[in-house]
């Protein structure tokens, strides 16, 4: 039996944000209903970056993703984040596909934030603040545009080149460069940096805003003033991961925040066991660490599309 090979170009031809949002939302629903199996993300920390192993099974499929984060990579002409995913038959364990998961990671992260925003942001949200204009900024915008529109984007990055690149990659959107204070003063704010200390101050946050805290995805990372968390309605993608490697991890270690103050998981909200936003003036925060069930859901989508289209490479990986 051949193993399908999908490189990054193949994945780019197959992936569509609207479809990713649909399967990611369904994955969170199944997660909330207890229909999935998932291990906690494990880390291998090295001097210049780290690797993460993420595995999960949803009905009909299973897989594992091996993903790195090396912040210095852009200076070497490489992406900060790269990933490979092995997609397997849960009945036999046979590797059905090996695929580049760099785009999968970017798209499912954007989709998760947009789904959180759908439930937690005000319905009339029209301004989006982007803090950190790297590649993930692009998929955040694409995903949010599926639910909110037309949107006006205010982007901040310490690198003007990064903001210019973001603008040129999304000419269909209204994007302007601004200060971090201006970007934070938005209806929806997406923080997308590798910061190890708070860069978003409480006094910059406007009433009724929603924050997608994406950058803090490993122990020691932190983007938000802990005072924001104390006042906000905080929703996480996974309680264990968020408490050890998400936006709330440092405040918990420092005693400035308690895990018991988390309102809900996104899976609980999507599955209907908890409500989303009920107060138009409340500040809401989605602490996103990235969960493997969404990677596998997207991998399933791409595998089935590739099978239907045909013409992709395969290899006899496992001898018989």
Tell me what pLDDT residue 320 has: 63
Contact call for residues 250 and 222 (beta carbons, < 8 A): yes
Mean pLDDT of 277-304: 97
Residue 319 scores a pLDDT above 80? no
CA 154 to chain centre: 20
**Looking at 10-24, 68-82, 129-143, 299-313, which range is the least confident one?**
68-82
- Residue ranges covered by each domain of the chain: 3-104+293-315, 116-290
Model confidence band, residue 272 (pLDDT cutoffs 50, 70, 90): very high
Backbone angles phi, psi at 200, to 5 degrees: -110, 115
- DSSP assignment of 114-167 equals HHHHHHHS-TT--EEEEES-SHHHHHHHHHHTTTS-S-EEEEE-S-HHHHHHHH
Which of the four CATH numbers 1.10.3720.10, 3.20.20.210, 3.20.20.70, 3.30.1780.10 does domain 3-104+293-315 have? 3.30.1780.10
Q: How far apart are CA 277 and CA 201, in angstroms?
A: 22
Mean pLDDT for 239-252 is 96
Percent of the chain with pLDDT over 70: 99
Nearest one of 183, 181, 211, 184 to 284, comparing CA atoms: 211
Mean pLDDT across 305-313: 95
CA angle 59, 81, 5 (to 5 degrees): 50
High-pLDDT (> 90) share of the chain, %: 95
Q: Looking up tokens 């852009």, which residue turns up?
A: 74
- pLDDT the model gives residue 21: 98
pLDDT tens, residue by residue, 116-125? 999 999 999 9
CATH of domain 116-290: 3.40.50.720
- Residue 101: predicted pLDDT: 97
Pairing verdict, β 50-58 and 37-38: antiparallel
Q: Is the pLDDT assigned to residue 159 strictly greater than 80?
A: yes
The pLDDT, as a whole number, for residue 149 is 82
pLDDT digits (tens, 9 = 90+) for 164-189: 999 999 999 999 999 999 999 999 99
Q: What is the mean pLDDT of residues 205-231?
A: 96
The 10s digit of each residue's pLDDT in 11-59 is 999 999 999 999 999 999 999 999 999 998 999 999 999 999 999 999 9
**Per the residue annotation, which of 12, 29, 41, 65 is the catalytic one?**
65
65 is catalytic: yes
């Amino acid at each position: 039996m051949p193993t399908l090979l999908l490189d990054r170009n193949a994945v780019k031809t197959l992936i569509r944000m609207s479809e990713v949002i649909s399967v990611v939302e369904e994955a969170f629903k199944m997660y909330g209903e207890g229909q999935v199996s998932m291990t906690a993300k494990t880390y291998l920390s090295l001097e210049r970056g780290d690797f993460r192993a993420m595995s999960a099974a949803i009905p009909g499929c299973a897989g594992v993703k091996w993903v790195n984060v090396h912040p210095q990579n852009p200076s070497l002409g490489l992406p900060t984040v790269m990933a490979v995913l092995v997609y397997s038959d849960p009945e036999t364990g046979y590797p059905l596909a090996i695929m580049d998961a760099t785009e999968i990671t970017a798209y499912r992260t954007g989709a998760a934030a947009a789904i959180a925003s759908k439930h937690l942001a005000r319905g009339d949200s029209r301004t989006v603040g982007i803090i950190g204009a790297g590649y993930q900024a692009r998929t955040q915008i694409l995903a949010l545009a599926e639910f909110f529109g037309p949107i006006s984007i205010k982007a901040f990055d310490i690198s003007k080149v990064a903001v210019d690149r973001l603008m040129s990659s999304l000419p269909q959107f209204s994007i302007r460069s601004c200060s971090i204070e201006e970007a934070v003063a938005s209806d929806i704010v997406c923080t997308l940096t590798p910061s190890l200390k708070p860069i978003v101050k409480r006094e910059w946050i406007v009433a009724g805003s929603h924050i997608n805290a994406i950058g803090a995805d490993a122990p020691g990372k932190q983007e938000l003033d802990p005072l924001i968390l104390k006042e906000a309605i905080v929703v996480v993608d996974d309680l264990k991961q968020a408490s050890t490697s998400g936006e709330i991890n440092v405040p918990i270690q420092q005693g400035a925040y308690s895990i018991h103050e988390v309102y809900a998981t996104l899976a609980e909200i999507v599955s209907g066991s908890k409500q989303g936003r009920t107060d138009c003036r409340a500040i809401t925060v989605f602490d996103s660490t990235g969960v493997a069930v969404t990677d596998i859901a997207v991998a399933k989508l791409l595998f089935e599309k590739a099978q239907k289209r045909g013409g992709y490479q395969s290899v006899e990986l496992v001898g018989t």
